[in-house]
Every structure is written in structure tokens, then in C-alpha cells.
Chains A and B, each alone.
Chain A
Amino acid sequence: MSAGVEPAGVAITERDTIGKIPPGKIAVWWFLASEIMVFGTLMGAYILFSFAHGDFAADGAHVKWRLGAFNTLVLVTSSLTMIMALASARARNLSRTRLFLLATVLLGITFLCVKGYEYTTEIDEGFTPSTSIFWSFYFGMTGLHGLHVIGGIVINSILLVAALSRKPWDILERRIECAGLYWHFVDVVWIFLFPLLYLT
């Protein structure tokens, strides 16, 4: 066993905990709290700037909302596959767990491909980060979000490998739950980012 998986020493139930929340889960939630501050700041700044500058709508007309909508569908579906992976892990169904994890990874990659296509066409059309303050926000926010998607894909791929190599179920289930929390958060950020950048 490895030293980093469990609190070394005594099992959780013997200690004074708060609400008996497993340590990994509460750690991820604290991390998400910090991430809420990061993305929330960017979104808040964008909203404030959009009130300050009247021309955001004009700039915003050039984003490809259909592709953005498709990407929203992709990410929302990947949230479903992620939670189904957890449900399958809870039901101890190995093949379904692997399947859903793989689906999540593939959907994540799809999202990135569509985003990449969007970026290249926009830059070809002459819209770069330096074009205007709107485009600064657009590239900045979707770029940062995209980096988080990449991180999520990496984590989920590692989980997929773990599922393929038959890690013990309770470890796998907890890790999928924690990774799922992160992945759902990335989805929630996009749920707000999409209307913010594409539909207003």
C-alpha cells in the first residue's frame, strides 16, 4: 500500500471528524472553492467591463455560437458519463466503469478539438487576443477553461488506466468521485461561460 492514500495510522471512523466527510472529498471541495474565486473573478471582471464598454455586443457577434452550443452539449454529456462512471464503480461493474471513463475522456477531447477549430478560424478571420478587450476576455477565459479541461482529461485518463489495471474498488470509487467533482465543476464553469461569451 502507499503512504499517501489513507491517513496513516488509524481508520477515519476512530477519529474526531467533521461530518465524517472523507478527506479526499473535502480536499477537492476546498480546491473548488479557490477555483470559484478564480473563474468568478474573471467572469465578474468581464461583466463589469461589458457594462463599461458598449461595444462588447458588436465584438461578440463574431463568436461561433453554434459551435459553442455544440460544445456545451458535449460537456454536459461528459458530465453524465462521469457520474455514470461513479455509479458503475459503486455497483462494482468494471466494464461499465471503464466504458464511461473512456467516454468522458473522449468527450473532453472532442470539446478541445472544437475549441481548437474555433480558435483557428477566429484567428484566420483576424480576431486575435489583441483585437479588443472583448477578445482579450474571450481568449483568456476560454483558454484558462481549456487548460482546466486538459487537466481533467489527464486525471480521467489516469483513472481509466487505474480501472484497466484493477485497482481496489474502494480506492477507485473514491478517486472517481473526487475527479468527478472537479470535472463537474469544469462543466459548471462552461455553463456560465457559454452564455456570457457567446449569447450576450
Chain B
Amino acid sequence: MNTVTVDDHAAHHVSFVRRYLFSLDHKVIAKQYMLLSAAMAIIGGGSSYLIRWQLAWPETSIPGWGPIGPDNYNALITMHGTIMVFFVAMPLLLGAFGNFLIPLMVGAEDMAFPRLNATSFWTLFVASCVLVSSFFVPQGPAAAGWTSYAPLSDKAVYTGVTWGQDLWILAVALEFASFMMGGINFLVTALNLRTRGMRLMRLPLLVWMEMTAAVVFLLSVGPLVAGAVMLLLDRAAGTSFFQPDRGGDPLLWEHLFWFFGHPEVYVVALPGFGIMLEILPVFARKPIFGYRTIVYSTIAAGLLSFIVWAHHMFVSGMDPRLASPFSVTTIMISVPFAIIMFAMIATLWRGSISLASPMLFALGGIATFLIGGVTGIFLGSAATDIYLHGTYFVVAHFHYTLFPVVFFGGFAGLYFWFPKMFGRMMNETLGQIHFWISFFAFNGIFVPLFLVGIGGSPRRIYELSSYDMLKPLQPLHVVATVAGIALLLAQIPLIVNAFYSMVRGPIAGRNPWHANTLEWTVDSPPSHPNFTVPPRVYRDPYEYSIPGAAEDWMAQDAVAEADLRAAGR
């Protein structure tokens, strides 16, 4: 059997290109994913600025940009959604944190397939380039919504967009390929490369979440790949899959999209929860409450996610007999998530809570996700959804679920693992400022939008002043936009903090947070190889404040005196 000895790594010298550009090291690749998601977030966030300005002060010239018309607006909302879900959320939560942490947390040297790992990143990079290039082609980028419903997306004449829509399909297809590769890598690594003693039920919950997300993604993406092929053929080869006048069925697209689309949001959400679940015990100095329950709930949520998709289609014209079953399954899926939320709160109960930046973001994520989850119940029940579908209520709901896991969860992770990734601590004051302004700004955007939605305002409409009944709601849009600008500005402390601390922050030791999981047993940043000796795991990941122990934490690979004696050594 081929074994790679540790010395080989130390011996050979790699060029700049191999070391930083086409690196096979999972830690470098993770940072590449992070950088890519940050770059795409600027575009995604920028587009949200334009959207919000247009809604608050319609038909004005947007500072720093100019006026936008209805077609531009549709393109903006399409690209905002597509970029945020596929090119910010997934690269950050799966690509960056998954890649960096899974090998370290399971005690492995690297991912199971390092070259596949690099390929998956560069595929995503190409996909990002394809998507960004669509801004510059004639007739502009895709404008049929991130959901790209047929027949709007099916014939160029309906949106006026030609190249842009095709490039969108290509970019999304490449993104799928990238995460298929990444997902397989995660699964095989977590299942096959666990170090001695790292039983499945000793895995940190983040690894469980990433694994479940990988399985859910792999099994749900197929139908949309098929759909994307069909859509592209409709546009480019004259087929008629989604054209009703030629024997096709536009509703098929919706089914295909949402069969993937719904599990996809859990693919994004679960790793975000995983990050919060790693942080809570550390900053409450308490074991996780209900580890096994959380694992089983995660698996249940993953399975259920495949049978709820048509709740996005209650008013689509689909067979009404499907409404009740899908309402039932959708209400059911709130149960495992509620269980996870309760477990998180129980973890905090009577803990020694320290409100450092990572913890603030984790708590902020939990609080805001609760609102998102609860408002989902109104949308999951077909009766209320008939009124709320396509309104700003939906927009507020999904921002109250996605934002908590991606923004609050993602930044919680950044503040938490920054010392491990870069060897230096971030500035705590700037972190607090970043959190508090962001938290209030975020709520300031989307609470008004719930009210706008309940007031009956449809979404995806560039300018609402022609609807008399919506005029009283306009001040809410202004509040939301002001809050939105505040949110964007609140990211400045983060950017300053991150880049400054990377080079001038105080040196972090191996384990500045006194946490138990294996990544905290190696250097900050981890040297090459990760582990000079493969670690041996003896305990569960969340043994904090164990009575009788010398410290209030116990690393997973720590052997207690009592255990040694019991083993007769």
C-alpha cells in the first residue's frame, strides 16, 4: 500500500504558483474559497444597494451609479440572488469552512482527494468569471429571477436577454459541478479518513452538518442539472421542453428547480448551524445539550428536505391536491430544526457565557433564525401562503433564514477560526461594533419588509408607485433602505479588522479559546503537515466544565490520568 511519509512534505520546495495559486493544501484552498466569496459578496451586496435605493426612491438617479430601469432591476434581483446563494453562501460555508476544518477536525492530513479539491475551487472560479462576464454582454445579464422560471427564461424574446441567460445557465452548471466534486471530497474524507478513536458519534457537529449537506446536495442537484440541460437546449437548439405551445410544460421547470432548490437551502443552513454549534459550548463552557438528538434531527431534516419542495409552488397552477400533503411535510420539517434550536438554547442555560465576537454572532444568528423559522410556518401552510406568496413577506422570511446562517453564522466562524487560520487574533472592539450595527441594521431592513409583504406588496417589481393601495407602505421601504446602507457601511470595521489583524494582530497561540476539537491542538496557522503524529482521540468533542477535571476543557486527544490508570498503563 502506498504510504506518503511525513518527511517528504518538509523536503520539497514548491514554486509560488504551486504553493499559493494551484495549491493542493486544503487550508490554502479554503482561503481561496473565502476570498472568492468575499469578492462575489461585494457584487451581491452592491446590487442590493441599487435594488434598495430604487425601491425607496424610485426613478431617482442612484448615487454612484445612475438611474436604473425595469429591465436592469430584474437583472439586479436575479444576479443578487444567484450570487448570494451560489457564489457567496456555498463557497463560504462549505468551500471555506468545510475545507479548512473537516480534515483538521477528523485528524487527517488533508482531504481525501487534494487534486479534486483544487479542481473544485478552480471550477467555481471559472463559474464566477462566467457569471460576472454576463454583466458585460449585449442585452446584459440574466433577468428571469434566481429561480429562472420558464417560459420567461426559456425564450430570449420574453426578457430581452440573450447571452446573459445562457451564461447564467452555464455558470450555475459549473457551480454545481464544483460542489459535486467538493461534496464527494467532504463525504469520503469524513467517512474514511477519521483518525483512531474518532468514532462517528465523536465527530464535531460541524462535520456532521457538512456531511449531511454534502449528501443532500449530491442527491438533489441531479434533477436541476437535467432541467438546466433542457433549458439550455430550449434556448439554443430549439427544443420545446418548457414551451407549452409546442408540447412542453413550464411547470416541469418549477418542479425540477424546487426539487433541488429546497434541499439547497438546507445545504446552506446546516453548515451555518454547525458553526454556531461549535461556538456555543466554547463560549458557554458547557457541553452541547443533546448531541445525539442534534445528529438525528439533522439527518431527519436532510431526509425531509426532499419532500417539501412544492410549498414553493402552491399558487403555481400545480394540482391543488398536492397542497395539503406538502403543507403537512413542510410543517413537519420545522420540528427537527426546532429541536436543534432548543438544544442550542439548552446549551446556553446556566453556562458561563462570555460575549466575545464569535459568540455574539452565533447568538445573533440564533435569534434571527428563530424569526425566520417561525415565519416559514405561515408560508408552509398553503392557506396563508396563497396570500403571502410572491410578496415581500417571502423576501423577509428567506432573508431571516439565509442571512442568520450565512452572515451571522459565517462571521461567527470567521471570528472564531481566524486565529487558527492566520495565527493572529482579531480586534475585539471592532468585532463588537461590526456585530451590533449589523444586527440592528439587518433587523431594520427586514422587519419593515414583513409589514410591506403583509400589506400586500408583490416582490420582483421595480417600482410600486402606480399601485395606490401600496402607497402607505412606501415609508417602510425608506426605513429598509436606510438600514440597508447602514448594514453595508457596518462591514467596514470588519474589512479593516480582518486585513489589519492578518498582519498586525496579536499572536494567537494554539488554542486561544480553550476549545476541545482537534484543530486547536495544532499550530496557528497549522504547519505542514497538520499533525506530526496522527492524533489519537479519546473523548467526545464538548467536554467542558467536567466536574473534577483540572481545567474547564479537555481536548479530544487528551488522555486523563484516570483513563491511563484504568487502561493499566
On A, residues with C-beta under 8 Å from B are 1-18, 21, 23, 26-27, 30-31, 33-42, 45, 49, 52-53, 128-130, 132-133, 135-137, 139-140, 143-144, 168, 170-171
B108 in contact (CB, < 8 A): yes
Which residues of A are found within 8 Å of B475, using beta-carbon distances? none
Extra contacts besides A7-B109, A7-B112 (6): CB < 8 Å: A7-B193, A15-B193, A15-B195, A23-B112, A31-B180, A168-B2
Q: Which of these, A21, A49, A132, A133, contacts B192 with CB under 8 Å? A: A21
Q: How many Å lie between the Cα of A9 and that of B7 in the bound state?
A: 10
B297 in contact (CB, < 8 A): no
> Which stretch of B88-96, B225-233, B512-520 is in the interface?
B225-233
Contact A140 B192 (CB under 8 A): no
Contact A129 B116 (CB under 8 A): no
Contact B4 A6 (CB under 8 A): yes
Please judge, given known A-B contacts A30-B218, A38-B225, A133-B248, whether A171 and B194 are in contact too, CB under 8 Å.
no
Which residues of B are found within 8 Å of A135, using beta-carbon distances? 239
Which chain B residues (84-127) contact chain A, with CB distance < 8 Å?
108-110, 112-116
Contact A33 B218 (CB under 8 A): yes
Please judge, given known A-B contacts A4-B113, A18-B191, A129-B238, whether A37 and B220 are in contact too, CB under 8 Å.
yes
Contact B184 A27 (CB under 8 A): yes
Which residue of chain A has the shortest Cβ distance to B3 in the bound complex?
A11
Which residues of B are found within 8 Å of A12, using beta-carbon distances? 1, 192
Q: Which of these, A5, A26, A41, A137, contacts B222 with CB under 8 Å? A: A41
B392 in contact (CB, < 8 A): no
B275 in contact (CB, < 8 A): no
Q: How many Å lie between the Cα of A2 and that of B194 in the bound state?
A: 21
Please judge, given known A-B contacts A9-B529, A10-B534, whether A16 and B194 are in contact too, CB under 8 Å.
yes
B198 in contact (CB, < 8 A): yes
Q: How many Å lie between the Cα of A174 and that of B230 in the bound state?
A: 35
Please judge, given known A-B contacts A7-B108, A171-B2, whether A41 and B223 are in contact too, CB under 8 Å.
yes
Per-residue interface assignment for chain B, residues 161 to 188, with 1 indicating a CB less than 8 Å from any chain A CB and 0 otherwise: 0000000000000000000100111011
B221 in contact (CB, < 8 A): yes
Which residues of B are found within 8 Å of A38, using beta-carbon distances? 222-223, 225-226
Contact A8 B221 (CB under 8 A): no
Which residues of A are found within 8 Å of B193, using beta-carbon distances? 7, 15, 23
Q: Which of these, A4, A26, A31, A133, contacts B241 with CB under 8 Å? A: A133
Q: Which of these, A31, A33, A42, contacts B226 with CB under 8 Å? A: A42
Give the A-B contact count at a CB cut-off of 8 A. 168
B219 in contact (CB, < 8 A): yes
Q: How many Å lie between the Cα of A38 and that of B240 in the bound state?
A: 19
Please judge, given known A-B contacts A11-B1, A170-B1, whether A3 and B114 are in contact too, CB under 8 Å.
yes
Contact A14 B180 (CB under 8 A): no
Contact A128 B192 (CB under 8 A): no
Q: How many Å lie between the Cα of A88 and that of B146 in the bound state?
A: 50
Contact B247 A16 (CB under 8 A): no
Contact B223 A37 (CB under 8 A): yes
Which residues of B are found within 8 Å of A42, using beta-carbon distances? 226, 229-230
Please judge, given known A-B contacts A15-B193, A34-B218, whether A9 and B534 are in contact too, CB under 8 Å.
yes
Contact B116 A26 (CB under 8 A): no
Contact A8 B240 (CB under 8 A): no
Contact B237 A129 (CB under 8 A): yes
Which residues of A are found within 8 Å of B110, using beta-carbon distances? 3, 7-9
9 A–B pairs (Cβ distance < 8 Å), ordered by A:
A6-B1, A8-B9, A9-B109, A11-B2, A11-B3, A12-B192, A34-B218, A136-B248, A140-B230
Q: Which of these, B2, B196, B222, contacts A14 with CB under 8 Å? A: B196
B199 in contact (CB, < 8 A): yes
Contact B188 A23 (CB under 8 A): yes
Contact B219 A13 (CB under 8 A): no
Which residues of A are found within 8 Å of B197, using beta-carbon distances? 16
B24 in contact (CB, < 8 A): yes
Smallest CB-CB A-B distances: 4 pairs: A37-B222, A130-B238, A133-B247, A136-B239
Which residues of A are found within 8 Å of B229, using beta-carbon distances? 42, 140, 144
Please judge, given known A-B contacts A8-B110, A30-B187, whether A130 and B239 are in contact too, CB under 8 Å.
yes
Q: How many Å lie between the Cα of A35 and that of B229 in the bound state?
A: 13
B503 in contact (CB, < 8 A): no
Which residues of B are found within 8 Å of A132, using beta-carbon distances? 240, 246-247
Nearest-neighbour CB distance to chain A for B106, whole angstroms, equals 9
Nearest-neighbour CB distance to chain A for B267, whole angstroms, equals 13
Contact A17 B191 (CB under 8 A): yes
Which residues of A are found within 8 Å of B112, using beta-carbon distances? 7, 23, 27
Nearest-neighbour CB distance to chain B for A182, whole angstroms, equals 13
Which residues of A are found within 8 Å of B108, using beta-carbon distances? 7, 9
Nearest-neighbour CB distance to chain A for B420, whole angstroms, equals 19
Q: How many Å lie between the Cα of A34 and that of B220 in the bound state?
A: 8
